[in-house]
Structures are given as structure tokens and as C-alpha cells.
Chains A and B, each alone.
Chain A
Amino acid sequence: MGTLLEVKALRTHFFTQEGVVKAVDGVSYDLQEGEILGLVGESGCGKSVSALSLMRLVQDPPGRIVGGQIMFEGRDLLGISEDEMRAIRGNRMAMIFQEPMTSLNPVLTINRQLSEALELHMKMDKNAARRRSVELLDMVGIPEASRRIDDYPHQFSGGMRQRVMIAMGMSCNPKLLLADEPTTALDVTIQAQVLEIVKKLTSEMGTAVIIITHNLGVVARYADRVNVMYAGRIIERATARGLYAEPSHPYTIGLLNSVPRLDEALKEKLDPIEGLPPDLVNLPQGCPFVPRCKFYRENKDKLQKCVETYPPLFMVGKDHMAACWVNVQTGGVRE
């Protein structure tokens, strides 16, 4: 299997009244064909913007991709025309958006919305597109698909709309699916349903997926590899197994320790990450995690570096990188 996507030093900024929001600020990673990549991190750290950047759908103004490369199937998406990009969008690369209701058109039937891409990209006629749309709805588990296809989005429940989005995303057999998970709108059982469908369909069709989520459990279940983002950058990157077996950035460690787990003995008290997520307009010069970092707090005198210089991504193991001056396994300070 080959490399499908290679993102190099991607930077997407928003030029706002309050200042420049460095939503994505130097992000590099690759994705193999058919691979499932998890993208985790807290609200506002740049997950959605980094996905929207791949699709070249960042709201402009105020946003703009200010640097980097997005190599997709051998071409730099930042170097092609809008027409060429349109041919890729929804076709080779598709996205399931965080807000299903805002991305489905309320005045068009489900059939119209599904058929549109099929007619445009797959050159199907109306009847063929409709037949295929029914099939797709059926595939994502909408009961009585041939009848429900003429419904409007508001006639569907939240979970059903989410499934329609998957059907739309998968309609043209994309090579890459970006699935931006709704944060609160879905329930556990519906979330499980939706993700199982994504996993099944994409593995059948060999589609690579980027799953964007807050939920560390979701990543553990579905992802092959994981990017952990913090304040617009990737701070840890590893295989899913590697990440959970040996988390190597204090933020990841803190995150894993702070969530109660169903499979573990009850704890007297939870172990939270102190402090608040950073303000992307006024990022400190050094590591953005400094104000919340346990390691820094406990070893201030030895870790002057943390406040002075942003740590690059260090190799910390096989296929495992972390952007931290501390080697959390040995307790040593990195050069």
C-alpha cells in the first residue's frame, strides 16, 4: 500500500480583530491508503480547521492557508486551481461535517442531495443516481430507504442525518474520508452505530479515514494511528497501540489519566489536568502546554527550555513521536 496523503508544515491562520488565530501552525503527517487516522485534542485546538484545510474549505476571510503543502495522490492541492479542487472534493476526498443539520440543505430532498454528487462526479443519469442513492441509504442502515429517500432532512433524527452524511461522503467511493465527529449531538449507542458503519464501509472499499474526535475511547477502538493536537500543532503522533501503551507527551498522559474508565477499579478522586486550554491568539513563545504541565511545574529550574523554545517532534519509539523537552520514560531532558 502506498502513501495517499502527505501534509507538510501546514499553516492555517485566521486574521481577526483580536489578532491572528494560529489555528493550524506547522502540522506534518502522512496517511497510507486505507488507513484510519484518529485526530484528537480539545475544543479549539485546530482539528476541524486542519480537515477543512485539506478540502480547501476554510472560511476566507478571515481564514487563509498561509503555508505548507498538501500532497494528495501525488499532487499538491495548494497548487491546483479551484476547478481542479472541485473535481476532487466530494469525489476523491469527502468530508462528514461536525454539524449535520448545517451541512444538509433543508429545502432539498435526501434524494436530490445524494444524487447531485453522483450525477456530477459519476456522470450518472437521474434514474441511475436515484437507484444508487437508495442503495447507499440502505447501506448506512436507513430502514425503508426507497420510501425515505424523498423525505427532507428535518424529517430525519440526528443519528439518521449523520448516516445520510456518511452515505453522501461515501457516494463516489472516495480515497479519503474526513469524519468530523459531532461533539455532543450523538448518543453512545447511535455513535457506536455510526462509527461501525464508517468502519465497515471504508474497509470494504479501501477508503482511508481521518476520524476527528474528543473521545479517547473512539480512537482506541477505530484508529490505526493517532495525531494528538494541542494549540494548533501535533504534539504526539503514534500508532494507536503505541500511544496508549506508552503515552509520551505530558498532555496525552494527563488526558488519559483524567478520564474515568469503565474497565478500571473505581478511583477515590479523578486526576485532572489543571488550568485552561490556551488562547490561540496569545500563544507563549515556548511550549504552549507549560502553564498546565505537571513535569514543568515540578522541575521548573531544570526546564527553562520549556518556556524558551517550542519543542520539535522527537522520535520516542518506533513510529512514535512527541513534542516535549522531557523524556517521560527516562526523566531526562532532551537536547
Chain B
Amino acid sequence: MAEERILLDVKELSMYFPVTKGVIFERKVADIKAVDHISFYIRKGETLGLVGESGCGKTTAGRSILQLYKPTTGSVTFWDDDRGEYVDLVTLKGEAMRKMRRKIQIIFQDPYGSLNPRMSCGAIVGEPLKIHNLAKGKEYQERVEELLTIVGLHPYFASRYPHEFSGGQRQRIGIARALASNPQFIVCDEPISALDVSIQAQIINLLEELQGRFGLTYLFIAHDLAVVRHISDRIAVMYLGRLAEIANREELYENPLHPYTKALLSAVPIPDPVIEATRERIILQGDVPSPMNPPSGCVFHTRCPIAIDECKVTIPALRNLGGEGINEHWVACHRA
């Protein structure tokens, strides 16, 4: 259950990747604004879903929160249980950052590419224990076996190598590894997208069970809106590096305020032909623009069915049009 305390507070976070040209020396010619001034918070024990189309910056957001990328702007304050105070991850360095890494983990998008093929399953899961000096000898062995059992794998799988596992099993290995250091916060980057439909539900149930058991807080990145609705307490919608809308899941699905959220929701087909036969859909025209050259004003205006002149000029601020606490409903649209 989500508590009142805010575990993670992201403010004006941006991540620009430089585009360089040149043979003799590299010269910066532009920026890819993968993430552009996003702000949100996550309460302890909560799951915040992060959705949006491919390339809108979800993975980059997750990685810059974890300081796997050095953010271009912004702060990421995290409640440090040990110190009993908030710390800004962006300013942490050296040993302090290394210690912090234990508490913030990631489950990667690609179960095929994210596991080192030359390490055994046991070594992969146990690596964080070694890095952070958490267990040795017999205790280490026991902990690895325990972790494998927690994620529903046989302890004797420890000696096998990644290529001997299915996608679903590899994803479980990735989860066990993320859990090894007893983290408080995990970025789950599309943990089920690469899996078969029939396996996805297994992994979702597992993630939910682990959350209850260990009091975990999740940032859950996905593009399947039905899955996100199932697993999240609140949901943030991104478009082209910016936040379009954030609200609790009931509110977002029942009362979406941003035209992009509306289109996104209406594009999800429902597995029932009778419903689909009469369902109205908003089909967005055109393609997602390049983040190297994002549209002026509201980044969505080139595809927005209700855009007005102002949308082309002024960037809409993220405003709370809802109530307080869990009823907050943030939206960045001139017409909302």
C-alpha cells in the first residue's frame, strides 16, 4: 500500500543527447531532447506507470532518474531511510552514489540482451551481493538460491547460462538480480513487452506479489495501457520527451483530459468484437516528430485534433486541475 511519504521527487528533469558531426574533431550540431523538463513524484510503496509511444523518452527518463545517465537539468530527490533525510541523487558522487545504487535498481526492457551470456544465472543474480559486499560464502549461496526461489525458478538453475532459458525465465532472472540488494525502488522498464501474452500475466503477478512482500516502490514503464492500468496506482503519460498528463488510474482512464491520452486510450483495441464494432476511435494523423527538432509550443500540436493557434506558440504548463493528494490530476494542455 502506498504511504504518505514521498520516496522520489523528480523536478524539471531533462536529458539531452548531443548530436555531433565532424571527422577531425567532433562538433555538437544539435540536441536530441529525449527527456525535457519533466516533474513528478512517487510515494513510498506506490507504483507509478509511465506510458507513451516508442521513442518518447520513457527509458531515458528511468535511466536518468537512476543516474545511469547524467541528467542535463533537474533534480531527483530520494528519501534515504538510513540517513533519515532526502538526498538529491544528481549531486551524489563516488562512494555515496555507490552506496545509493543498492537501493535503486532496474529491470531491463530486453530479457535477451540484458543478461551477460558468459555468466551463469547464479553469478548474474549474485553479482549485486558481491558488488555491495552483502553476503559471502555459504550465506551468498543461500541468498542466491533464495532469490531464485522468490522469482519462481528452481535453485538448481543457478549453474545454467542465459541461452538455456526462455524469455519469461530470463525476465525472472533479471528480477531476482534487481531484488538481490534489497532495494527500495525499482524501475521496471517494459518488463513484459518482449514476452508472450500467456507469460505476461505470470510476471505481472510476480511483480505485484514482490511489491507487497518487500514494500517496493515501482516506476513501471510500458506501452500496454491495459497492463499499466492493472498494475499502477497513478499513471504518467509522456509524449516526445514531455509529460502530458498524470492522474490516478481510475481518473486517467475515466476522465482523460489531454487529447493525446484520449487518442492513446481509444487506440487500444478491446478483445470483444461486439464492443469493437461500435467503438469510436480517434486515429491520430501523421507521425511522431523527431526529438531532434520538436515542434514549437505544445509538442503535440502537429497531431492534435483540437489544437488552436496558441498551441503552436506557447508551451503549455503542467497544471493540477484535480483535487489533492491521490486526486491530483496534472495536465499540460491549453485546452484542458
Contacts and interface: CB of A to CB of B under 8 A. Distances in A.
Interface in B182-234: 193-194, 196-202, 204-205, 208, 223, 225-227, 229-230
Interface string B262-289: 0111011111111110000101111110
Interface residues of A, number: 53
A218 interface: yes
A185 B54 CA distance: 8
A259 B264 contact: no
B331 to A, nearest CB: 18
Given A190-B53, A244-B273, A160 B287 contact: yes
B273 A262 contact: no
Contacts of B202: 272-274
B253 interface: yes
A80 interface: no
Chain B facing A: main interface SS? helix
B229 A262 contact: yes
A28 interface: no
Interface size grouping (class) on chain B: 35 or more
A291 interface: no
Given A159-B287, A189-B264, A241-B274, A255 B226 contact: no
B283 to A, nearest CB: 6
A141 interface: yes
B281 A192 contact: yes
Interface in B85-123: none
A14 B167 CA distance: 22
Given A159-B287, A240-B273, A260-B230, A42 B265 contact: no
Given A191-B267, A216-B271, A262-B265, A42 B196 contact: yes
Interface of A: 42-43, 141, 143, 157-160, 184-193, 196, 214-221, 223, 240-241, 244-245, 251, 254-256, 258-263, 266-267, 269-274, 276-277, 292
24 contacts: A43-B196, A185-B54, A187-B288, A188-B53, A188-B264, A189-B53, A190-B53, A193-B283, A193-B285, A196-B281, A215-B269, A220-B276, A221-B276, A256-B271, A258-B198, A261-B271, A261-B272, A262-B268, A269-B208, A270-B205, A272-B198, A272-B200, A277-B166, A292-B198
